[in-house]
Amino acid sequence: MTLATHHDERSSAVSSNHGNTWTLAEASALYEMPFNDLLFRAQTIHRENFDPNRVQLSRLLSIKTGGCPEDCGYCSQSVHHESGLTASKLMEVERVVAEARKARDAGATRYCMGAAWRNPKPRDMEAVVAMVKGVKALGMETCMTLGMLDRAQSEQLSEAGLDYYNHNIDTSERYYREIITTRNFADRLETLEHVRASGMKVCCGGIVGMGEQAIDRIEMLTVLANLPEPPESVPINMLIPIAGTPLANATPIEPIDFVRTIALARIMMPKSYVRLSAGRTAMSDEMQALCFFAGANSIFVGDVLLTAGNPGNDEDMGLFRRLGLQPEEQ
């Protein structure tokens, strides 16, 4: 194929008009554009939809750590791997609300509570509902990630006032089965349907740097962008390799490819928050700056995520100052 033909095909694929149905060919054509063209396009779309210098701050809390029956190959909290993590019981409601208050006072506008469950048990629901109500009363947006939900549990959380439910598809359908065997891709989509049907906002993204191919990243974003409504929030995690897990020695993703993934998410889901999520401790300031330029507009703040490290407030506010970024206000 000549370069000219290739270019023509690429630009026609890239400029076609969308509802929200993307083909893999269109998404691949974007991902493979010259880097400057890709970033220019992503930044242009970003500016049409968001204030380019504002970044939303979310804070995570692990409300139930470790002992998880699922076998996700990346996770420190699975009982199937020897990561050395000590499992804990579900945290007291009052403690969760006290932690959320601290996060709010440090500038976070969204509080995301995560539990290492396959799914919540009926006996857990009362406590998680109370957590949602307590954190919402502080004036924060609430998010939870508790594993799979059935329709009734979704309704219960929605009625309690939960704003977002986080449930990641993590990678392509093809690569999913290489990473997790205790559930499948369709299970993930089913929970997402319940979350949507019960009126909550969807937070759904994935992990890159798990040894996948570029096409797996492109496919993952295509699935997300083609949902009946794209997720309002799209976390892109860079694998934090955890000793003792099957992915401890996975080949890391090239920083440029990571930035391409962020840009593609921005272009395909123009109105969604794209969160530069796990893995920032292993990123240079310059890499993070490129991610913000490519359209990332949300981060997790604080020095821990669920179990792994995160840059912490001083470092992040230093970077924001140097880049002229402002936290988004409540």
Binding site for [4Fe-4S] cluster, by residue number, is 68, 72, 75
- Cα torsion at 58, 100, 231, 130 (round to 10°)? 180
What is the per-residue binding string for ligand SF4 in 52-71, x denoting contact by CB under 6 A?
----------------x-x-
Q: Does 147 bind ligand SF4 (CB under 6 A)?
A: yes
Q: Is the Cβ of residue 39 or residue 236 nearer to ligand DTB in the bound state?
A: 236
* Residue 141 β-bridge partners: 110
Residue type, 166: N
Beta bridge partners of 236: 206, 276
Locate 74 and state its tokens.
């990346």
Residue 72 annotated to the active site = yes
Element (H, E) at 284: none
Q: Which structure tokens are listed for 174? A: 């093809």
What is the smallest separation between the CB atom of 128 and ligand DTB, expressed in angstroms?
Answer: 15
User: Which does residue 142 bind out of ligand DTB, ligand SAM, ligand SF4, none, counting CB within 5 to 8 angstroms by kind?
Assistant: none
Other Cβ atoms closer than 10 A to 174: 13
Smallest distance, ligand DTB to C-beta of residue 62, A: 7
CB atoms within 10 A of CB 330: 13
Closest CA to 220 of 169, 262, 180, 145: 169
Site pattern 66..85 for ligand DTB (x: CB under 6 A): ----------x---------
Least distance to ligand SAM, CB of residue 152, Å: 18
203 is catalytic: yes
Rounded to a whole number of angstroms, the minimum distance from the CB of residue 168 to ligand DTB is 5
Binding mask 242-271 for ligand DTB (x = CB under 6 A): ------------------------------
Verify binding: residue 72, ligand SF4, rule CB under 6 A: yes
CA 323 to chain centre: 23
Instruction: Report d(CA 297, CA 275) in Å as an integer.
Output: 6
Name the minimum Å distance from CB 298 to ligand DTB. Answer: 11
Look up tokens 């208050």; give the residue.
Answer: 101
235 counts as binding ligand DTB under rule CB under 6 A: yes
Instruction: Write the interaction track for ligand SF4 spanning residues 86-125; mark x where CB under 6 A is met and - where it is not.
Output: ------------------------------x---------
Burial of 230 (0-12, 13-18, 19+ CB in 10 A): buried
The residues assigned a catalytic role are 68, 72, 75, 112, 143, 203, 275
